[in-house]
Amino acid sequence: MVNKMDVGISKIRNKSHYSVVALFLISLAVTAALLLITGENGSIPREGESPKAGPPPPSLAGEIKYEEGGDYNETASSCDLFSGKWIYDETGNASYSDGRCSFMMGDYACEKFGRKDLRYRNWRWQPHRCNLPRFNGMALLEKIRGKRLVFVGDSLNRNQWTSMLCLIESSLNQSSLQSVVRRDNLFIVEAIEYNTTIEFYWSPLLVESNCDHPFAHKVSDRVIRIESIEKHARHWNHADILVFDSYMWWIMPSMTILWGSFESSDAIYKKVHMHLRLYEMALNTWSDWLELNTNRNKTKLFFMSLSPTHTFGERWDVQQHCYNETEPIMKEGYWGVMADRRMMHIVESTIEKLEKRGVRVQYLNITHLSDFRKDAHPSIYKQFYGSLSETQLADPKTYSDCLHWCLPGVPDVWNQILYSYIINS
């Protein structure tokens, strides 16, 4: 099947792929340093205090009500879709393959790039008191007929967007989706028959930054305009459904705040070492924009909680790394070192304050369910743009991708949950 991803995208990516790999390796090193500072549970202990584990934070979107019947347990009047367990299903859980989705990207096509063990496709998420709805692409397109569905964020959101396109395409008897069209940071797929678009907008920090190019974003120092969002947000202004995420790009020991424009000769730069405070400030800028610019009677708003990585483990085996992992973590209540609860609480607090101001954002807490799936990352089974060094090839852990997710895979579950909220809205 001919891939529908824009040819122009490939040309741009080829120029910047060395930088993407390098950035990923740098981020692993920075994360390791942060772990030494923050302790096992990802929080900074007070002086003289040992790090302590704790329960996962509650989800603000913990319950969703369904009518009886359909794809759900008839005995469940409400269900926490985020509380459950992974169950192995011999019949398979994937409705598509990476070779049969014309929107698949090399970053997520694990089978295509050599993964032989495909058991990661056979695990399905089972909520405790009901079933996830079956994803129906035609039903979704009918529900969003005449509307814009826009994913806004980083490469994890692009991972989810790609999953959404593959799920929709696999649901149709014949593809109603057009090829990807790129307009700067915006990637658009149109379903002409439904007058609908499913879009992705690259904005990893939500606010304006020097990381805003969707492919060429390797920088030695991340610079952000913490109170500037309009450059990006004007592209979302007329969306009917917005799905946000922002997490991994904030995990840095320091960042630089810019007052003024990048082009200004008298702009003020200040290096800051408090990434949590910066994250909170950026989300305040984001929430202020939502309050002033979204149509509260029309626009549906979602925020995806952080997607955990598995670069470091907690003695799940001797490797403590996603490379060569083929089974999920089965320990009940497991909470990994790479899921920063402090940042989750900042998002939850921001959303709670927004709701008091009359703006409702559904917080989809996919962190805990994803944290079990150390087996589902691309690792070395993805497209690498440029040659790997002999040193890297000698130690695959040094270049394994434990951040993104194979497709089909975990992001399909995220989209099943998102689908259930959209269909029932």
| Candidates 80, 107, 371, 401; catalytic one | 401
The Cα 338–Cα 30 span in angstroms is: 12
The Cα 205–Cα 274 span in angstroms is: 15
Q: What is the b/e burial string over 360-373, where b = at least 16 CB atoms within 10 angstroms of the residue's CB?
A: ebbbbbbbbbbbbb
Identity (one letter) of the amino acid at 192?
Answer: I
Within 10 A of 271 (CB to CB), how many other CB atoms are there? 10
Contacts of 58 (CB under 8 A, 6+ apart): none
| Candidates 16, 59, 97, 155; catalytic one | 155
Closest by alpha carbon to 350, among 341, 338, 363, 339? 363
Residue 401 appears among annotated catalytic residues: yes
Contact indicator for 239, 151 with CB cutoff of 8 Å: no
The Cα 169–Cα 415 span in angstroms is: 14
Q: What is the b/e burial string over 11-28, where b = at least 16 CB atoms within 10 angstroms of the residue's CB?
A: eebeebbebbbebbeebb
| Candidates 228, 310, 404, 412; catalytic one | 404
List 177's β-bridge partners, or say none: 191
Count H helices, E strands: the chain? 9, 15
DSSP conformational letter for 397:
G
Cα 256 to Cα 126, 215, 230, 249, distances in angstroms: 43, 21, 19, 13
Contact indicator for 391, 397 with CB cutoff of 8 Å: no
Residue 404 appears among annotated catalytic residues: yes
Q: What are the φ/ψ torsions at residue 260 (nearest 5 degrees)? A: 110, -175
DSSP string, 196-262: EEEEEEE-TTSSEETT-SSS----SS-EEETT--HHHHTTTTT-SEEEE---GGG--S-EEEEES-T
Active site residues: 155, 401, 404
